[in-house]
Chain A
Amino acid sequence: MRTDRIGGSPNRVGGIGRVTGSQQYVADIRLQDVLEVKLVTLDCARARIISIDTSAAELVPGVRLVMTAAHLPQPVPRFGPQFSDRPIIAVGETKYHGEPVAAVAAETRDAAEEAARLVRVEYEELPAVFTIAAALDPASPLVQDPSLRAGDPLAGTNVLREHRFGWGDVEVAASSADLVVENAYTFPMVTHFAIEPHAFMAAPDGDGIAIWSSIQHPNWLQKIISQILGLPLAKVRVFAPDPGGGFGGKQHTKLEPLVAFMALRTGRPVRLILTLEETFQAVRRTSAEVRVRTGFMSDGTLAFQDVQANYLIGAYADIADRVVSKGSYPAAGPYRVPAVRIVSRSVLSHTTPATAFRGFGNPQVNWAVESNMDEGARALAIDRLEIRLRNLARKGEAFIPVDTPADGDWEQTVRRAAELIGWGTPLQPGRGRGLALGIKSGPTTGLSYATVRLLADGSVIVYAGTSDMGQGARTVFAQIAATELGAPLDWITVVMGDTAVVPYDQQTSASRSTVLMGNAILRACQSIQAQLRTMAARLHGLDEADIVVEGGAVRLPDRELPIIDVLKPGLGRLGGELVGNGEMRKEAEPGHPLGGSAAFYEFNCTAVEAEVDEETGDVTLVRHVTVSDVGKALNPLQVTMQDEGAAIMGLGHTLMEHYIYDERGRIRNLGAIDYRIPTSMDLPLEMLSAMVENADGPGPYGSKGMSEGALLCVAPAVAAAVRDATGVAIRDLPLTPERVWRALRDRSTP
């Protein structure tokens, strides 16, 4: 098999540029006359802005603009993907540590920084809420101005939305359950830590504007800028160079509207490259407190799941409320559960705005529900693997009523993971094993267009509005075109990241692009294949029905021709090209709790063996197994890399990552020194990634999305292994050595 076709693992398209540093990120793009922007922020979370004196800052040589809310249209426009609640710059009050109150544009970064220090802001620090408990206290201040959601009965509280999902009658089920296990779990506040910090640039562009952003959803950004500036979409050109990691943190518009207004006011290009510290203040994942009550029958059969999940979101909603609803909706897991009640709340606070993060709200509830499965198994003296297999939904089973039935033979995945971890085999002293299942709903709606051009020499250009932020979309898209149109991979160019050139794509999120954009590209290729069939029929005097175009070749009744041998004579002396368009649509479903059913499920089983140093609390992962049901691996190496990457990212919130706030709502561990992410030295001693392929997904060739699965259930698997090794159950993350040490010490205290 050729490695550049589907199922092969060719060298990554753009990979050499990425590893040698020649790839152009937004910060690498040098426009002439560009002004550098520095944000002005306050040293506290919530404050009333009394006055802003920019006079000293304006005297710094090279300063061209000190922008405040006063320079903007009044009332200052607000925006957001779900609620229009975020102002372009703080208006009247800051709501979180790091929210800009002014911004300086200057000829050099040094001048901008110096001037930013000289902006005098008189302010009064106000009481604020940084925790779920404080936010839910009726005596606490409100984060959001109630007028922003007039008529909402919750407007007088810090609960942005409350979501209720479920089926069956939990109370009835509870009355007949043999065992009820109830526990509370907490999930920490963590940040994405993309290696490329967020970067934004804007420049006047004729009678419109051009925006450069390290964004995952360029078309959504285009729409928001168009609305804010009152420009037609065609006059807003968004350039979205491949981001250096996104993980959900770069999905939605952040500071692009601010730099757009600064560019229009100065008439110059302006750019804002955040520092790592500023990215901590710009994006994070929702933290959560989850109380789960699980009912079992004595044979381990699940009787009910009763889940209450409070997610702490930030000062502005961004997409976080959708994270809460979509993430908590499959909280009962991939199991057959007769009665389920899920109540989840998005709770506003004076903290960094929370947003999408790989796993999209699922790891928070999965941590609680899977840990509780272990509690039930132990109480019933049933093997922890067995209790899961006993309840696991079979393929085709409607385990979530009125949603997509189980779309994989999930038992294969679980058994493979159990086999790879050596489940049930003897353990060395001081070691333990844990195993957990994770499930996530794929995209509930979607719309992707692709254009494919087969040029006269047989080379191909693919236009796709996906953002390749490291997941390898360029490579997979090129492989689809190579497979369908017969061109070698290095004869294929994939064009992305320019809304003036590339057709519309809704977004790069929810592990959708292989499935949705992949199908759009496949359809565009099929349109070209149909044109080739017509051509071949004309050239050879045949009936179209007797011609098949597939696998990069044209099959006539008596022989097979390479596509180029039909294309060249077919195009004739003038040359030209064949153009194919493809569209992939997943419509909304009115009445569905999430607005649409899952396009596919990401299903993963993670199993670990851990060794615990009881003197220090150190947890060493001796072996980490992750198995995902991927339908079909279009590029097996990339599938493994995504799986391993998600697993390692999951080790961050499991073992070490968390924001530490002070009493004024300032992030104390702002930056890389005291916010620790796993390094190569922190990896499990052995990591095994495997996949199950039954070609039963909705994507090209039976593929499913798979970039988040391996992150979903890392925490419960690791905590279960720690429990197995030590007998101690820990219900708060991360499992830092100190936290494990304390739990062990408290265990031995009589």
Chain B
Amino acid sequence: MTFIDYLFLFGGMGLVTYIPRWLPLFYLAHRKMPQWLIDWLSLIPVAILTALLAPILFTDQSARSLEIGKPELLVAIPTLIFALKTKSLGGTVLVGMGLYWLTGIILT
């Protein structure tokens, strides 16, 4: 592929990535939003976060099948408790990484 081929491909990908990120912000930030929409949108972060985490914690992602008790889930429990107790984002990331690393050593 030539430079122009890559530019066309990545430019196209960039455009279809940018528009969904830009359009709502551009319009909604200058409108008076109804209260029901604000209430609904306030629930979106928690719903998206759990949706993103769900397959990582509860499924075998290569086979796309249910898997209960994978290391990611076991490590998630103390990681969640740490986050709840300390309210520290950076600390939780380090603790989660450390526990996951240790789990990998123990299981292999």
Physical interaction between A and B: no
- The interface of chain B, by Cβ under 8 A from chain A, is none
- The interface of chain A, by Cβ under 8 A from chain B, is none
